[in-house]
Amino acid sequence: MFAPQRRDAGQAFPIYVVMVAGLLFLVFAFFAVGKASALRNGAQGAADAAALAAAQQTREDFGAPFLASLPGNMLEQFLQGREVTGCPAAQGLAAANQADVVRRGCQSVRAAGYRDRITVKVKGRKPVDSSVIPGTERKLAKAKATAIVEFRCVGWRALDFDDDGVQDLYIFPCGDGEVLKIAPSSPPPWSEVSKILYDVHLVDN
């Protein structure tokens, strides 16, 4: 009378084992997906920080050539041909966020309107390394971000007070009612004017 119940229990046990194993697999799989997502977000944050660092350093490095271009009336040439120099700064910020800039992963493109687009590609340092998903032992998160260094003034005017061919004053209307005046003979510190002349921000890739 009780034998069929024992046989039913014996038959059900393997099913329970399979169900538990399946549930454990799903738990580990969800954990791996969550970890991969977190690593991807971390890599994106590192890319954003690295791109901004490269753009901000480039803006800082504009200072000397920008001010040097004013006495010789070379401002237009400078704005068209300025150099992007901030890529080394990108690695420092990427490393601070547990990532590295990939080889040739910092590139700049000159855009219209005196703008420079700096794109940085990074790779995270921590692998997904899931025991239930093959190939994740060395799978690293990757991301990229683009920042722009943009000349934000609406043109400029140059004044030559004594008609000697050398400009004595440059006037830059820079939006929001800001007007910047630079006398080439006594230029202000670049740190005071760089954020007025140039805007740095992230854009969609």
Q: Per residue in 84-136, pLDDT tens?
A: 899 999 999 999 999 999 999 999 988 877 889 999 999 999 886 655 555 56
Q: What's the whole-model pTM score?
A: 0.80
Measured CA to CA, the distance from residue 148 to residue 48 in angstroms comes to 12
Domain ranges of the chain: 3-149
